[in-house]
Structure 1
């Protein structure tokens, strides 16, 4: 499966995919489609930063 690290981070943070998509200013469907293929290192870094930010805000 592609993007295991991102999927695991979302799950561990108890977030929904739509929450991450919204924070990235993209639709849920577009984010899901992007998850099918490996993100570039820059994209992955950005997505992980957003996930960590959302997780901190949820506390």
Structure 2
């Protein structure tokens, strides 16, 4: 099973791309891809979940 499957599923369910999360974090897409290879601490996951929600809301407004 992939590490951080919950983050990947949340992003996919919200139609948010990994590169969009990276952009929000002000890091490169390869950096976030490497970061997601290993299970993240819960605090960091919570931050990413809130970013996913924020991006999804922005897309809903557009």
Q: Which runs of 4+ in 1 moved over 4 A?
A: none
* CA RMSD between the two structures: 0.6
Equivalent residue, structure 2, for 1:54: 55
For these two proteins, the number of residue pairs brought into alignment is: 59
Residues of 2 paired with 1:4 and 1:46: CA distance? 15
Q: Is 1:32 the counterpart of 2:33 in the alignment?
A: yes
Shift of 1:15: 1.4
**Structure 1 residue runs without a partner (length 5+):** none
TM-score, normalised via structure 1 length = 0.95
Q: CA deviation at 1:10?
A: 0.8
TM-score between both structures, scaled by the size of structure 2:
0.91
Larger radius of gyration: 2
Structure 2 segments unaligned to the other structure (5+ residues): none
Query: 1 CA distance for matches of 2:44 and 2:11?
Result: 15
